[in-house]
Structure 1
Amino acid sequence: MSGAKERVMQRKDPAKRLTLEQKLYLINHAKNGVKNVELCKMYNICKSSVAEILGKKEIYLSEVEKKTKIEWTD
């Protein structure tokens, strides 16, 4: 991907650049007391994106639960 396209993607929605696994790590760091400002620096996203991910943490956790159930039934 070219540098210009990558910068545009970063501006659109940085939270979408993170994988589900990265979002779960972010949620886990927040549970362990890491401040949102530090999470912004760690994951290179803005405060509103961190807040959005933390606000939707139940959705992400249920996605993982569904995926693990599918893996166990295969």
Structure 2
Amino acid sequence: MAERARACSGVVKLSGGPFGTVATYLPGDRLTGVSADEREVEIAIVATLARPLPETAEEVRRAVADLAGNRPVNVRIDDIVEGS
């Protein structure tokens, strides 16, 4: 999911949130910016103003929808930067 989200237009990088709570813990590793449980998927991003923010969020949602199964995908924009 992380690679797909990062590849979307308008996404600068993934974000762990202000307290680093948006993350998935893997054996020996921590994936910042994606959190998933049995109820939902949360993806936190830093976006650019190069395109409308709702379009960026929707592209991220569509990019990971097949991996989320029946869970809703919530895209959170934690920060906005100028440029691309």
Common fold: TM-score over 0.5: no
How does the TM-score come out when normalised to structure 1? Answer: 0.28
More helix by share: 1
More strand by share: 2
How does the TM-score come out when normalised to structure 2? Answer: 0.26
